[in-house]
Structure 1
Amino acid sequence: MNQEIVTIDLGSNSFRVLKYDCKNHKIISEYNEVVGMADGLVDTGLISKEAIQRVIVAILHSIEVIKYNPQDAICVTTAAMRNASNSEEILKYLSQEVKTNFSIIDGKEEARLTLLAVKYALKREKINSDKFVLLDIGGGSTEIIINTNNSYKAHSFDFGIVTLTQRFLNHDDLKNDLENKKLEIKLFLNSLNIDFKDYSFVATAGTPTTIAAIKLGQDFFSYDRNIVNGTIVNLEDMINCLNIFKNSSKEDIVKLVGRGRVDFIEVGIYIYKMIFEVLEKDESIVLDDGLREGVAINYCETKCKN
């Protein structure tokens, strides 16, 4: 069995590739690009031809950079493909054009695999992984996972940074909608009858890692996941980021967050802030590890064992 594998996570906004060493549980190399797959999805219910061309260009570029055979890669895709009415034809087209075989995974499986990656990451960072609430803010969905020792409860909420940005062009409408989302999340958390005082708050995905990077003085071009991993972010850090974005030119914001994230980062911060408030937490541990790492670890644990 080959001990080196490649996993691909095609999200609603981001495209992330990982080459992983199963034997030593180490990242060999990675590739990240914003492809904006969910652009226009809210209005049309379709993934556009333009978006899928961006995905194809990203896949071909990642093959050059990481050197892998797309037919051997373990490929998953999430909320945008779950919600698009043309997803089957898009996946067939990708298979013909670039030889990738994507599986659409549901919110439960997305949560399970992301949790697997985060538990590994917490152990690697020597952070207690017994009791924590995990937030994964995606482009088209947001997952909340409550881990208690070896069991967990998860819920996938049908909103993300891209879909909320597209749905609410008016700031007041967005704020009202977030208040409704807050009630929905509170209902889920209350139904678990858990006292969250003993639970740490962990966050993954582009919004938390961007805030952590800015706090550390990094920008999109100097981003270092090894330094970002384990960074503590608080509400003040989020307010600082919002102020930076308000007082910066679009060019400066692109340098900080990367092209393709500029339009969504503020909504991401509002979602993150809302979860802080619901959980009544002062700080959050940020990790870069997410779905693509979880897919790799899951494969290593089930297929690579001798």
Structure 2
Amino acid sequence: MNNEVVSIDLGSNSFRVLKYDCLNNKIISDYHEVVGMADGLIDTGLISSEAQQRVIKALKQSIKEINYDPSIAVAVTTAAMRKASNNKEVLKNFEENTGVKFTIIDGIEEARLTLLAIKYALKREKIDSSKFILLDIGGGSTEIIVNTKEKYESHSFDFGIVTMTQKFFKHNDLQKDLNSRKLEIKKYLDSLDLNLNDYTFVATAGTPTTIAAVKLGQDFFSYDKEVVNGTIVNLDDLKDCLSIFDNSNKNEITKLVGKGRVEFIQVGIYIYQAIFEVLKKNESIVLDDGLREGVAINHCLETKCEG
């Protein structure tokens, strides 16, 4: 049992659990559900009691399905919990009801752990991992990590698909918001003084993986991460996806992207498109691996060192 770890990533929209074999660096089983934790957060500054109930229900379901001891799970939570003014009581509620103890991690640690997972994934997919720019579009924040051989620079930007969508529904000025975000990202990249041509563009999280899946003819129910991993997505694929969503009804979109993602996916694509434009890239490599894999791998490495 010592060779196994269970990692949990509770994001602003998604809840992801992983049982991982440290010895063979392999996923044993995983669980994923949309919990919409950041619903209403932008208006109230709080994680709502409805959202808390959804998370508790998802935690209990994952314990049942993956069969793990909640008290030893390595559980992290990110942007939504960082922002919520009631985060302490929310985490206490989760622990009392499920036995899972969460740690709130900052954007820097989130980037480090996600990068760790992506480096392992690129190696597994036999893709050159010396110089790449990693985009991780979350529900409440967006991380950009510039990896140059053994060094990296990361920055967490204060916008994500959930928060931007909720703002957009309220003020209806998505393009203006995106333009100012593009300037913010460009300013950050300029400060690093890079030759962007030398860097591969890699993307992780729900939006890029959904576009890759649609490109491959998969939907939410036939989603296969092993096939999605390493898929090349280009700007035309983004346009095709937007066109499919524009011409589909809610049920058809739900079948493609899954419940709880329908209202966010288009904003996710616009964010992804904006990063393509800032980086002056035509294509990106998509990987399903992310924070929960990074948390698991990090734990394996730490316990190995201690052992």
TM-score bucket (shorter structure): over 0.9
Counterpart in the other structure of 1:116: 116
Counterpart in the other structure of 2:49: 49
Amino acid at match of 2:73: A
Counterpart in the other structure of 1:183: 183
Task: Measure, in 2, the Cα distance between the counterparts of 1:195 and 1:129.
Answer: 16
Q: Deviations over 1:79-104 (max 9, x none)?
A: 00000000000001111110110000
Counterpart in the other structure of 1:17: 17
Counterpart in the other structure of 2:217: 217
Equivalences for residues 56-205 of structure 1 within 5 A: 56-169=56-169, 173-205=173-205
Could you tell me whether the CA contact under 8 Å between 1:3 and 1:304 is conserved in 2? no
Amino acid at match of 1:20: Y
Amino acid at match of 1:104: I
Task: Measure, in 1, the Cα distance between the counterparts of 2:282 and 2:182.
Answer: 17
5+ residue gaps, structure 2: none
Counterpart in the other structure of 1:27: 27
Q: Deviations over 1:278-298 (max 9, x none)?
A: 000010000000000000010
Query: Aligned-pair RMSD on alpha carbons?
Result: 0.9
Task: Measure, in 2, the Cα distance between the counterparts of 1:265 and 1:89.
Answer: 30
Task: Measure, in 2, the Cα distance between the counterparts of 1:168 and 1:281.
Answer: 26
User: How many residues align structurally?
Assistant: 306
Counterpart in the other structure of 1:226: 226
5+ residue gaps, structure 1: none
Matched position secondary structure for 1:264: helix
Task: Measure, in 1, the Cα distance between the counterparts of 2:257 and 2:124.
Answer: 26
Deviation at 1:171, TM superposition (A): 8.1
Could you tell me whether the CA contact under 8 Å between 1:276 and 1:282 is conserved in 2? yes
Task: Measure, in 2, the Cα distance between the counterparts of 1:302 and 1:72.
Answer: 15
Amino acid at match of 2:27: I
Matched position secondary structure for 1:211: helix
CA shift in 2, pair 1:203/1:77, >3 Å: same
Deviation at 1:168, TM superposition (A): 1.2
Counterpart in the other structure of 2:5: 5
Q: Percent identity?
A: 69
Task: Measure, in 1, the Cα distance between the counterparts of 2:233 and 2:243.
Answer: 16
Counterpart in the other structure of 1:251: 251
Q: Deviations over 1:241-270 (max 9, x none)?
A: 000000001000000000000000000000
Deviation at 1:21, TM superposition (A): 0.2
Could you tell me whether the CA contact under 8 Å between 1:111 and 1:143 is conserved in 2? yes
Deviation at 1:304, TM superposition (A): 2.9
Q: Deviations over 1:175-220 (max 9, x none)?
A: 1010000000000000000101010000000000000000000000
Amino acid at match of 1:235: L
Amino acid at match of 2:28: I
Task: Measure, in 2, the Cα distance between the counterparts of 1:24 and 1:100.
Answer: 26
Amino acid at match of 2:229: N
What TM-score, normalized by structure 2, do the two folds share? 0.98
Counterpart in the other structure of 2:293: 293
Could you tell me whether the CA contact under 8 Å between 1:7 and 1:19 is conserved in 2? yes
Could you tell me whether the CA contact under 8 Å between 1:141 and 1:156 is conserved in 2? yes
Matched position secondary structure for 2:114: helix
Could you tell me whether the CA contact under 8 Å between 1:117 and 1:293 is conserved in 2? yes
